[in-house]
Amino acid sequence: MGAAESPDMNMVGMQATTDSRPIHRVYVDGFWMDATEVTNEQFAKFVDATGYLTIAERVPRAEDFPGASPEKLVAGSVVFSPPNHAVPLNDHFQWWAYVTRANWRHPEGPASSLNGREHYPVVQVAYDDAAAYAAWAGKRLPTEAEWEFAARGGLSSKLYPWGDQFMPGGKVMANTFQGHFPDRDSGEDGHRGVGVVAEFAANGYGLYDVAGNVWEWTSDWYRPDYYAQLAAAGGVARNPRGPDTSFDPGEPGEKKRVHRGGSFLCTDQYCSRYMVGTRGKGEGTTGTNHLGFRLVRTQ
**Full 3-state SS string of 109-142:** CCCCCCCCCCCCECCCCCHHHHHHHHHHHCCECC
Q: What is the pLDDT of residue 113?
A: 97
Whether 137 shows a pLDDT value over 90: the answer reads yes
Model confidence at 254, in pLDDT bands (50, 70, 90)?
A: very high
Whether 163 shows a pLDDT value over 90: the answer reads yes
Nearest to 147 by CA among 229, 33, 283, 257: 33
Span 213-248, pLDDT tens digits: 999 999 999 999 999 999 999 999 999 999 999 999
State mean pLDDT over 291-298.
98
Phi, psi of 99 (to 5 degrees): -115, 120
SS (H, E, C) 136-182: HHCCECCCHHHHHHHHHCCCCCCCECCECCCCHHHCCCCCCCCEECC
Higher-pLDDT residue of 8 and 205 is 205
Task: For 98-129, give one letter per residue: b (16+ CB within 10 A) or e.
Answer: ebebbbbbbbbbeebebeebeebbbbbbbbeb
Query: In the chain, pLDDT over 70 holds for what percent of residues?
Result: 100
Span 8-43, pLDDT tens digits: 899 999 999 999 999 999 999 999 999 999 999 999
| Contact criterion met (CB below 8 Å) for 108 and 79 | yes
Nearest to 227 by CA among 263, 283, 160, 279: 279
Q: What is the pLDDT of residue 247?
A: 98
| Contact criterion met (CB below 8 Å) for 241 and 143 | yes
State mean pLDDT over 270-294.
97
Span 50-84, pLDDT tens digits: 999 999 999 988 888 888 888 788 999 999 999 99
Burial class of 80 by CB neighbour count within 10 A (0 to 12, 13 to 18, 19+): buried
Q: What is the pLDDT of residue 129?
A: 98
| Contact criterion met (CB below 8 Å) for 278 and 267 | no
Whether 279 shows a pLDDT value over 90: the answer reads yes
Q: What is the pLDDT of residue 120?
A: 98
Whether 7 shows a pLDDT value over 90: the answer reads no
Whether 88 shows a pLDDT value over 90: the answer reads yes
Distance CA 86, CA 102 (A): 25
Q: What is the pLDDT of residue 68?
A: 82
18 Cβ partners below 8 Å, 6+ apart? 224
Nearest to 166 by CA among 2, 36, 1, 6: 6
Q: What is the pLDDT of residue 65?
A: 81
C-alpha dihedral, 223 to 129 to 238 to 260, nearest 10°: -60
Q: What is the pLDDT of residue 66?
A: 82
Largest CA-CA distance found in the chain, in angstroms, rounded: 55
